[in-house]
């Protein structure tokens, strides 16, 4: 893992579609070296997934996103990890984090309707062992996702010619 | 000290009707100096572009990033706190202190924030101040060519005579001792340079500067060094002429926030010079400008205090785009040297058989890509076009595709 690897990762994080050829040109590496480095990063589990950021509202999908706070009692032997693993395996769970503060887990859950979310949280999550309390916040509007400001068009107004 | 106004020469005696000339020749209200400034060579492109859709503009001279938000917030804060009055003519003390230590840390120069630094309304004002502070009517000013479009007009407005100093592609757009010696006369007062260079992306390293320093000293010239692109140096480190001992007392250094911090619209920069010259420039500045915009000065303080990461990210992005874009140009058959600084590629288009002007005009009409003909920057730019790679990678790749189609169609 060196600076070139990190540069590759930074580019891919901002645009995962950049190919090895272009990456090589941008970073002064040969395409085959880029390919090799990417392969190593993938195998090592550093590069996890190539994905897209989608404004589902604009796509006409009226799905619901909820932020769920969980208070749990850690297990004597496993701490938080085994409970986390159980929660993480649900496809409805988009992200899961252990945080400091007044609750333990922050979970992002998606569903088609509010009802679906309510059923999922009460039926699947709240009923797990060791869950002491859940608080569900329904997302009203997403302003920024993965560093991408959804409510603002990118770019700025510039004169077409300036010296 | 009282100012002496010259007495107006007109007579107070009222004239009789018969003395009033019957046919009045319409009087020109425009000064000869203003009249003497040639119109912008790019106007027709501008008008043409406004009639078109889907243009990719590589004609811009500014970054395509928003001002880093913490910098913008510092400006907003100053407004919200009601800090909206003039600053001292020289600019905020804190900003001058920061500029002084920034320059010494990055470029190894030594400027006293009290009497050698003036905060200006961009490098644009700095250029005008510097030239007016040192140029008398009839003085010759050598302008390293190709260069930013304001240099010659600035000299002319001060009554000086701009003389082009050719810095052609063969010399990697640098000032060479031979070229300099050829153009220096007894009347030469000042040499204006800009490295990293707009439009060519050329840079001058320490050895290049040392090679001309003796000539500057021997002929008792002053050096005006516009270093607005200093942070955008991709090979090696930027060298400030003022860090070279023999040049320190001969140099006026201009720099600013527009390019490195994406702050073109804020209008803030600085002039650094030995105190005698800075003092003269300050006299002009205090009457012509009073002070640089106060909110912009607060934003600039934040730029120097807390925007190193944001700046580094922008520079890294420019470097990658440069590599991508220049490789693309060479691939489609437009030979282009790898520019070492700024955010411009300056390919030669001579192989196409078109002039730079024809090339730019036809490329705009036929493929909707805007570039600037090299001659707009002086005669050493003839046969080249300036392409700013301050555009998204997607736009740059599309621009390369279109330029490729255009070249194949010629
Ligand atoms: C070489 C050069 N000097 C000065 C300027 C003007 O800079 P500022 O925005 O600081 O007035 C520019 C802007 O394009 C430039 O390219």
H/E stretch holding A20 reads helix A20-27
In chain B, residues with a C-beta closer than 8 Å to the C-beta of A10 are 316
pLDDT at residue number B215: 98
pLDDT at residue number A154: 63
Whether residues A27 and A73 share a domain: the answer is no
Whether residues A88 and A134 share a domain: the answer is yes
- Test A155 with B198 for CB contact under 8 angstroms: no
- Test B324 with A26 for CB contact under 8 angstroms: yes
Q: Which residues line ligand 1 (CB under 6 A)?
A: A 163; B 61, 122-124, 148, 194, 198, 226, 228, 256, 258, 264, 269
Q: Which of A18, A26, A160 has the CB atom closest to B370's CB atom?
A: A160
Whether residues A31 and A88 share a domain: the answer is no
- Test A155 with B64 for CB contact under 8 angstroms: yes
H/E stretch holding A45 reads none
Q: Is the pLDDT of residue B9 over 90?
A: no
Q: What is the pLDDT of residues A11-35, one digit of tens each?
A: 999 999 999 999 999 999 999 999 9
Residue A132 in domain: yes
Residue A112 in domain: yes
Q: Is the pLDDT of residue B17 over 80?
A: no
pLDDT at residue number B353: 97
pLDDT at residue number B46: 87
Distances (CA, A) of B99 to A140, B41, B66, B111: 45, 35, 22, 9
Q: Are B298 and B273 in contact (CB under 8 A)?
A: no
pLDDT at residue number B24: 79
Q: What is the pLDDT of residues B33-81, one digit of tens each?
A: 999 998 877 888 888 898 999 999 999 999 999 999 999 999 999 999 9
Reading chain A (163 residues) residue by residue, the pLDDT tens digits are: 899 999 999 999 999 999 999 999 999 999 999 999 999 999 999 999 999 988 888 898 889 999 999 999 999 999 999 999 999 999 999 999 999 999 999 999 999 999 999 999 999 999 998 999 999 999 999 999 888 888 887 667 888 888 8
Domains assigned to chain B: 43-67+309-409 (3.90.1150.10), 69-306 (3.40.640.10)
To the nearest 10 degrees (0 to 180), the angle between helices B122-134 and B275-288 is 120
Q: What is the pLDDT of residues B355-407, one digit of tens each?
A: 999 999 999 999 999 999 999 999 999 999 999 999 999 999 999 999 999 99
Residue A49 in domain: no
Q: What is the pLDDT of residues B79-112, one digit of tens each?
A: 999 999 999 999 999 999 999 999 999 999 999 9
| Interface membership of A9 toward B (CB under 8 Å) | no
Whether residues A83 and A27 share a domain: the answer is no
pLDDT at residue number A150: 86
Phi, then psi, of B286 in degrees rounded to 5:
-65, -30
Residue A118 in domain: yes
Q: Token digits for B336?
A: 């282009």
Whether residues A81 and A137 share a domain: the answer is yes
| Interface membership of A157 toward B (CB under 8 Å) | no
Predicted TM-score (pTM) of the model is 0.91
Whether residues A74 and A122 share a domain: the answer is yes
Whether residues A70 and A140 share a domain: the answer is yes
Q: Which of B192, B228, B255 to mutate to test the pocket of ligand 1 (most atoms within 8 A of CB)?
A: B228
Residue A113 in domain: yes
Q: Rounded mean pLDDT of chain B?
A: 94
Residue A76 in domain: yes
Provide the domain limits for residue A7.
3-43
CATH of the domain at A27: 1.10.10.10
Residue A97 in domain: yes
Measured CA to CA, the distance from residue A140 to residue A120 in angstroms comes to: 19
What total of structural domains would you count in chain A?
Answer: 2
pLDDT at residue number B208: 97
Phi, then psi, of B190 in degrees rounded to 5:
-145, 145
CATH of the domain at A132: 3.30.70.920
Partners of B165 in the beta sheet?
A: B144
Residue A54 in domain: no
Whether residues A29 and A83 share a domain: the answer is no
pLDDT at residue number B351: 95
Measured CA to CA, the distance from residue A4 to residue A24 in angstroms comes to: 10
Q: Token digits for A148?
A: 């991408």
Measured CA to CA, the distance from residue B151 to residue B144 in angstroms comes to: 9
| Pairing between β-strand B269-272 and β-strand A131-138 as defined by DSSP bridges | unpaired
Confidence of residue B22 (pLDDT cuts 50, 70, 90): low
User: Which positions ≥6 away from B280 have C-beta within 8 Å?
Assistant: B133, B134
Whether residues A70 and A107 share a domain: the answer is yes
In B63-187, which ranges are E strands?
117-120, 140-145, 161-166
Confidence of residue B336 (pLDDT cuts 50, 70, 90): very high
């Amino acid at each position: 893992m060196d600076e070139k690897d990190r540069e590759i990762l930074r580019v891919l994080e901002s645009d995962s579609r950049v190919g090895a050829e272009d990456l090589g040109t941008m970073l002064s590496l040969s395409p085959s070296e880029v390919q090799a480095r990417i392969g190593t990063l993938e195998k090592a589990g550093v590069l996890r997934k190539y994905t897209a950021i989608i404004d589902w509202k604009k796509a006409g999908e009226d799905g619901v996103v909820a932020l769920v706070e969980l208070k749990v009692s850690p297990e004597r032997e496993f701490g938080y990890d085994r409970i986390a693993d159980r929660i993480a395996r649900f496809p409805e769970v988009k992200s899961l984090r252990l945080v400091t503060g007044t609750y333990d887990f922050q979970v992002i859950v998606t569903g088609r309707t509010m009802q679906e979310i309510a059923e999922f949280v009460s039926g699947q999550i709240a009923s797990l062992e060791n869950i002491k309390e859940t608080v569900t916040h329904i997302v009203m509007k997403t302003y920024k996702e993965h560093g991408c400001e959804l409510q603002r068009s990118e770019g700025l107004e510039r004169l077409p010619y300036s010296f | 000290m009282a100012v002496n106004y010259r007495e107006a020469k007109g007579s107070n005696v009222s004239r009789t009707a018969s003395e009033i000339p019957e046919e009045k020749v319409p009087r020109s209200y425009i000064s000869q100096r203003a009249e003497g400034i040639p119109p912008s060579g790019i106007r027709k492109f501008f008008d043409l572009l406004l009639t078109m859709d889907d243009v990719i503009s590589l004609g811009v001279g500014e970054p395509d990033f928003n001002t880093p938000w913490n910098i913008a917030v510092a400006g907003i804060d100053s407004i919200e706190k009601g800090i909206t009055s003039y600053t001292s003519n020289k600019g905020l003390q804190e900003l001058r202190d920061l500029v002084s230590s920034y320059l010494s840390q990055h470029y190894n120069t030594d400027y006293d924030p009290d009497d050698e630094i003036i905060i200006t309304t961009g490098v644009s004002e700095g250029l005008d101040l510097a030239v007016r502070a040192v140029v008398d009517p009839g003085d010759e000013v050598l302008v390293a060519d190709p260069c930013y479009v304001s240099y010659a007009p600035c000299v002319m407005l001060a009554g000086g005579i701009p003389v082009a100093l050719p810095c052609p592609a063969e010399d990697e757009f640098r000032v060479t001792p031979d070229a300099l010696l050829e153009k220096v006369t007894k009347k030469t007062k000042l040499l204006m340079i800009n490295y990293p260079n707009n439009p060519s992306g050329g840079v001058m390293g320490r050895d290049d500067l040392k090679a001309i320093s003796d000539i500057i000293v021997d002929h008792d010239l002053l050096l005006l060094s516009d270093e607005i692109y200093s942070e955008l140096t991709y090979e090696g480190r930027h060298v400030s002429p003022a860090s070279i001992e023999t040049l320190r007392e001969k140099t006026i250094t201009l720099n600013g926030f527009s390019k490195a911090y994406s702050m073109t619209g804020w209008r803030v920069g600085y002039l650094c010079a030995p105190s005698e010259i800075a003092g003269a420039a300050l006299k002009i500045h205090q009457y012509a400008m009073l002070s640089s915009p106060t909110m912009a000065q607060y934003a600039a303080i934040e730029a120097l205090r807390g925007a190193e990461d944001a700046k580094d990210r922008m520079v890294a992005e420019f470097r990658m785009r440069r590599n991508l874009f220049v490789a693309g140009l060479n691939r489609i058959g437009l030979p282009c040297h790898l520019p070492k600084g700024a955010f411009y590629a300056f390919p030669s288009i001579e192989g196409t058989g078109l002039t730079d002007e024809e090339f730019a005009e036809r490329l705009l009409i036929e493929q909707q890509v805007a570039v600037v003909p090299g001659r707009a920057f002086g005669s050493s730019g003839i046969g080249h076009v300036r392409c700013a790679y301050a555009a998204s990678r997607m736009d740059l790749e599309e621009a390369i595709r279109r330029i490729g189609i255009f070249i194949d169609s010629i």
